[in-house]
Chains A and B, each alone.
Chain A
Amino acid sequence: MSTNGNAPLLEVEHLKLYFPIKKGIVFDREVARVHAVDDVTFTLRDGETLGLVGESGCGKTTLSRTIMRLVDQTDGSIRFRGRDVSRASRRELAPLRREMQMVFQDPYASLNPRKRVGQIVGMPLRRHGVSPEQAERRVRELLDRVGLAREHVNRFPHEFSGGQRQRIGIARALALDPRLIVLDEPVSALDVSIQAQIVNLLDDLQDELGLTYLFVAHDLSVVRHVSDRIAVMYLGKLMEISPAEELYTKPIHPYTAALLEAIPIPDPRRNRARTRHVVSGEPPNPIDPPSGCVFHPRCPRATEVCRTVEPPLTQYAGDHLAACHHPLNVSADELEAARRSDASPLRAGAETPRATVSATD
């Protein structure tokens, strides 16, 4: 699945998206901003799957929609195969849209209830000038590919279950042979046994078609099964990016550790045996994010420096990045070798944890 070392397919640099909050009767004036995505930098390599996880309101969906240009960013840049997408005009975007497709979370809301399956899946083809006969052939092929029957082409979305609808959404995304598919919580509306079917389908499609996925989810257990790397977001910021397995065995950011601890394990004995520290409180309001590290009000390890200095994304051994002044699971040697990553937010401090840890411990 993984093709590490490939050229980056997508480069996101210092991406910001602030939603203005306006007030006023005649003239709107901006009174505040929701910091939905706040200085996020990452790359997506050709053929890999990057999982993007976080709790509701952390900005993961907004980030994925910004990449698709469904909303316009406030600042920063998005490059797809070296071309700047973030400032492209509608006309310039059209050919790029063939290569970047999206599968939405809610298979009930994302399919037009008045259109037949054939029309839904065929729409992207017709938009991009494929002849009706060719489009029809392609639609049947696609239905076959995602595990639906060819006869389903004349049915309406309401005749399908949630899992089948999600297959229709995937077929539509595949229609134009994209390179990148952004999957926004593609299985979270589905039952567990159906989730597994869809995850396996996505896996097969990636192997066969060499797709690159950005897999957005709140469920850390599902993300683990599909991802090569995983990025953890909190309050609009990246907290940690790590090779998939390492995130579970060696989380560096206390927020990631808290997320992992909160997941109930479907094994009663193991569940009874493990000691859990339930993180208290709730994510703060993104209109007025905390100073310094945004996680500090809920963090059990927070100290003075966390309240004042935003931690830089620090690069540890094995391509593992985390933005924390008091990292977990890193040895003294690893700390010594760590360096500030270029992906750090612009406002973040210059010091990697090495200096601050020795000062506080």
Chain B
Amino acid sequence: MTTDPVLTVRDLAVSFATDDGVVQAVDNVSFDVSAGEVLAIVGESGSGKSVTAMTLLGLTRSPNARFAGTAHYGATELVNASEEELRRIRGAEIAMVFQDAMAALNPVQRIGRQIAEQIQAHEDVSDAEARDRAVALLERVGIPRARERIDAYPHEFSGGMRQRVMIALALSCDPRILIADEPTTALDVTIQAQILERFRELREQTNAALILVTHDLGVVADIADRVAVMYAGRIVEHGTLDEIFYDPRHPYTWGLLGSIARIDKPRPPRLPTIPGLPPSLADRPQGCHLRPRCPHEFAECAKVPPLEARGTRAGHADRCWLSPEQKVALREVLPGEIGLRAKEHAAATEAPA
């Protein structure tokens, strides 16, 4: 993996003015992505992961939106770039695969035309050449009989095939960064496995950076190199794949890892949960946002913990005031099992100590 990042995001903040007040969707988010690398941004609904991804391409701009921070792609700063600059970059340099392919594709245009249109928007090629390239792209993402199916409309494709068309569209100008927002969430598991296989192949062939936005930790474990966990607009933990899964430092990450129903482990009598609900982004708790749900909160948590490396490894950062020793001691709910305790349980077990 190269060390020179293709994208550097610093202190990105996005807020929207709404009738219910200012919604702080993204707060102080910083990360880098390098060529050939897969960065997964993980979080639940409303954590700000999609807004982060869409802001990089200027897709969240609106009269009600306020932005702060920077996102450098080469010499271009994306957050404040002009629409003209963004148009040059979108699709050509940084491309996006959306979750709902049916909504993202034009229903009244043949898919071949949609791909050719994007190629011709960025490159000066003839219709025939653009069409040939579209066929080649469809073949590359695994659509059988591509030359026949290129004149089909999106509704004639199944969900998995439409998602392949989306990926072909995103790849049409050899982007250096591919942003995929929940690309397999709407798909069946066997089709999801096929699409993830494609992403793996493409990454080897193209050396593009992939930013994968997802809530599915199984998908993350399958494909990511590094992981950023988001909660209520902030990155709460950031590290390599193995750091996040085997040495998680933030209680929210413990809760996420603990609450997944799994097929590879004995069935527990009850699924561990994270108590309570995520906060409203218009009215977030002071200090650490997880505080009201966290069984391990203490006085320090009223202050916002900075995202910094608190252990021995420089790249592994988190936003939690607990000491590294406390974290290691608290995250194990059962021997070898990471999870977030129930509040009552934590109180009962920690009180004597």
Contacts and interface: CB of A to CB of B under 8 A. Distances in A.
Interface of B: 44-45, 158-161, 188-194, 196-197, 215-222, 241-242, 245-246, 255-257, 259-264, 267-268, 270-274, 277
A263 B190 CA distance: 8
A226 B192 CA distance: 24
Given A191-B44, A193-B274, A268 B193 contact: no
B259 A267 contact: no
B132 to A, nearest CB: 26
21 contacts: A56-B188, A191-B45, A200-B271, A221-B262, A245-B267, A259-B190, A261-B193, A262-B189, A263-B189, A264-B218, A264-B219, A265-B221, A265-B264, A266-B218, A266-B221, A267-B264, A271-B222, A276-B193, A279-B193, A282-B160, A282-B161
A163 interface: yes
Among B45, B197, B217, B221, max chain A CB count under 10 A is at B221
A192 B278 CA distance: 12
Label chain B's interface by main secondary structure. Answer: helix
B194 A278 contact: yes
Contact of B273 (A162, A193, A260, A268): A193
Given A55-B191, A282-B158, 18 more contacts: A56-B188, A191-B44, A193-B259, A194-B277, A195-B261, A196-B274, A199-B261, A221-B262, A221-B263, A225-B261, A225-B271, A259-B189, A264-B216, A264-B218, A266-B217, A268-B221, A276-B193, A278-B193
A280 B191 CA distance: 8
A203 interface: yes
Contacts of A267: 221, 245, 264
A280 B190 CA distance: 8
B261 A203 contact: no
Nearest to B159: A56
A193 to B, nearest CB: 4
A192 B260 contact: yes
Contacts of B274: 193, 196
Interface residues of A, number: 45
A268 B239 CA distance: 14
A248 interface: yes
Interface string A268-303: 111100001011101000000000000000000000
Contacts of A268: 221, 241-242, 245-246
A280 B220 contact: no
A200 B270 contact: yes
Contacts, number: 121
Interface of A: 55-56, 161-164, 191-197, 199-200, 203, 218-222, 224-225, 244-245, 248, 258-271, 276, 278-280, 282
A258 B194 CA distance: 12
Nearest to A223: B261
B277 A203 contact: no
Contact of A196 (B189, B196, B261): B261
Contacts of B193: 261-262, 264, 276, 278-279
Among A55, A192, A219, max chain B CB count under 10 A is at A192
Contact of B189 (A55, A195, A248): A55
Contact of A197 (B217, B264, B273): B273
Nearest to A193: B274
A279 B261 contact: no
Contacts of B263: 220-221, 224, 248, 260, 263, 265
